[in-house]
Structure formats: structure tokens, C-alpha cells
Amino acid sequence: MDGAARGLIDAFQERFPDSACAGVWRAPGRVNLIGEHTDYNLGFVLPVALDMACYVARGPAAGGRLNVHSRNMNDARSWPVSALPTLQPSKDWSDYVAGVAVQLVKAGYPVEPSNLFIHSAVPFGGGLSSSASLEVSVALALLGDRVMDRVELAKLARRAENEFAGMPCGIMDQYISVFGQEDSALKIDCRSLEFEVVRLPAGIEIVAVNTMVKHELGGTAYRERVAECAAAAEAIRRRHPEVASLRDANLDQLELIDGVPRQRARHIITENRRVEDFVAASARGDLAAMGALFVASHRSLQHDYEVSCEELDFLVETATAIPGVYGSRMTGGGFGGCTVNLLEPGTSARFQEAMAKAYRDRFAIEPRFYPCKPSHGARRIA
């Protein structure tokens, strides 16, 4: 048993002294290398699961209740399991937990009266998928010994976020949290829900840099982008009925779309292409091409998709001027959170020093750095 599991069991017993801990489950956060906002357009993404994860310890509860304690939030919730089918969201962290419990019941997996103790090492609001890692680890903990198909598990966790937490996110975050593999990225086809393992070339380090900001606009803009992409696909479909989503569209068809949705569609079409190109560049070990695709992706997110922000743009500009940096781009939904950077091995210390100084001078904020080691997906650890 690893140290994290031991620590969690101890914390669980302290919080719930009358309940015997039945197990500990772990689900990782992720950093997406390329393929941003393509998942809900049924396109391609290339994330890696991180060694930062969310941990959930579970034991049986008395009184027919689901009791939840979050160490990060230093907060607790309790619901009668009989009330789960009609539970309403409370617009806070607990919605990710309750949403999963509700979806399990709906899917025919009754929730046993339980105590859950949750601790996450994924930074909140950092764009590294703290919510999906919470959803997936809670789902596994509540399932216990019951087996669920892994794709169904990812879909269920996504439904919890769509329907209960009210975010119309795609499948990327939950999928990579379930399926992540050590030392590899996964190229996920968000339509077929199949993946291809992509071994990254030797001679790169991946480092995420946290802007430490999360602009309010994020949630609203995400919903707008989902709607704009749907409108763009609809406009093309009038002439080309085979275009079920922007995944099927090509650049020639952009002339069928007006205004802002045209710009959004251009990002999706070019970004799907960049995922393919990045995988090809990675296979031939072309680090310069991989870096250039990172920057092209960022530009497209900045200008066409308009989901970047001043802080992210500044980090990308600063990074790309540092020797030993192949490429840099925002990762995740945008409007704050992290950039992801491809570095020559051995340059990380110098990179961090230069980035921290520049960011501090410009915004008076201390950024955080996360070396990203591709890790395995969700599982029981004790």
C-alpha cells in the first residue's frame, strides 16, 4: 500500500471512527497536450493523466445516509440515500459528488449508505481537471466491488457534470482520468470513444505553469462556445447533410457560415488537424514541429476561439522566448488555469526561474509549476 493510501485511511478513521474503511480509490487529473475544445465537437484530443490525483476512502455508514467530508474544502455534506433520485444541485463542490451518486442510482447501481473522505492533490480551478478526477474517484469508491464498463464509467462521470453540476463539458477529462497510461499520451477519438496510445519521444519534459487566476467569464463562455459550434455545424448541414458535427467539416465549408461561428469552426477544423500532425511529428521525433504546433494551437485559441486571457498569453510569449522551450500553449477550458510547455530536458529549473520572475514583475502573482509525468488511470489503491 502506498503512503497516500495509508494517510487517507488514517484520516478517514479519525473523521469516521465508527466506520471501518473498506478501500481507497484514486483518479488522476490531466494535462491536455493538444486538441482543445474539440471534444464536444466529437473530434480528437491528446491528454496525459498526471501523477496528481484525487483520493477517496469509503466505509459503511449508519442511518441510511451518504456522508461526505472534503479535506481540501474542510467541509462536509450528508444526504439520505433514499433522497438521491430527487436531489437538487447546491452550486458548490459537493455537486460533483452528489451528481455522481445521482447518476449511479439512475444507471441502476444503488448507492449504499457510506462515509466518504476525499482529498485531492489536483489544484482547484487550475485547468488540470480537478472536477473530473473527483467525479471518477467518487464513482469508483461508491461502486466498490461492483464492476462497470470503463467507457460507461467515463460517460457517467461526464453526465454528472453535464446534468448536475450544469457544465456542458465534453468527455476528455473523465475519459483520460479513467484510461490514462504511464509514460504515454492518449489520442482519443471523442466520437468512437476509442483511443490510440501515443509514446512521446525521449528528450522532452512537460511542465504546466499555473497562472493562478480563473476569470469569472469561464463558465458562460464555455456554454457560448458549445452553442456557437452547434450553430456552425447546423449552417454547414443545410448544404451538406453528412456533417453531423464540426468533426466532419472542412475549411472549404467555412464560407457557408457567417460571423463569429465561422471563426469558432475554423479553430475546431484546424485544431483537429493539429492533433493528427502532432502525433505524426511525435512519431518521427520532430520536437521543433511539435513545439510549432503548440504555438499554432495557442494562436488559434487566442484569436479564433477567444478563450485565452492576458495572463495565459503572457506566459506563452515569455516561455517561447526562453532557450530550450520547444513550445507553449494554454491547456484546458481557458480564461485562466495553466499553460503546458514542452522543454528540452535539463532546462526546467532555468525555465521556472525566468518564468516566475517575468510573471511576478508583470502581475505581482507567484505562478506555480507542475512537472507532468504521464501516469496511470483511475483504480483502487487499497
Binding site for ligand GLA (CB under 6 A): 32, 36-37, 39-40, 169-170, 172-173, 332-333
Judge whether 173 counts as a catalytic residue: yes
Cell numbers placing 145: 466491488
Which is nearer to ligand GLA, 212 or 221 (by Cβ)? 221
What's the CA gap between 49 and 123, in Å, rounded?
Answer: 14
Q: Closest Cα partner for 309 from 211, 236, 231?
A: 211
Q: Closest Cα partner for 305 from 348, 261, 337?
A: 261
Cell numbers placing 250: 472542412
Which is nearer to ligand GLA, 16 or 44 (by Cβ)? 44
Radius of gyration of the chain (CA): 21
Strand partners, 194: 189
Which is nearer to ligand GLA, 188 or 243 (by Cβ)? 188
Which is nearer to ligand GLA, 19 or 129 (by Cβ)? 129
Which is nearer to ligand GLA, 111 or 121 (by Cβ)? 121
* Element holding 317 (H helix, E strand): helix 310-320
Q: Which residues contact 283 (CB under 8 A, 6 or more apart)?
A: none
Name the minimum Å distance from CB 136 to ligand GLA: 13
> CB-based burial of residue 35 (10 Å sphere; 0-12 exposed, 13-18 middle, 19+ buried)?
buried
Q: Which amino acid is at 132?
A: A
Q: What is the DSSP string of 36-95?
A: -S-GGGT-EE-EEEEEEEEEEEEEE-STTEEEEEETTTTEEEEEEGGGGGG----SSTHH
CB atoms within 10 A of CB 254: 17
What's the CA gap between 168 and 31, in Å, rounded?
Answer: 19
Name the minimum Å distance from CB 194 to ligand GLA: 17
Which is nearer to ligand GLA, 5 or 53 (by Cβ)? 53
Cα-Cα-Cα-Cα dihedral sign, residues 330, 369, 189, 164: negative
Name the minimum Å distance from CB 23 to ligand GLA: 27
Name the minimum Å distance from CB 173 to ligand GLA: 5
Q: How far is CA 369 from CA 33, 207, 210, 382, in A?
A: 16, 7, 6, 29
Name the minimum Å distance from CB 69 to ligand GLA: 25
Which is nearer to ligand GLA, 165 or 342 (by Cβ)? 165
Name the minimum Å distance from CB 298 to ligand GLA: 13
Name the minimum Å distance from CB 253 to ligand GLA: 22
Q: Which residues contact 223 (CB under 8 A, 6 or more apart)?
A: 168
**39, 51, 95, 173: which one is catalytic?**
173
List residues with catalytic annotation. Answer: 173
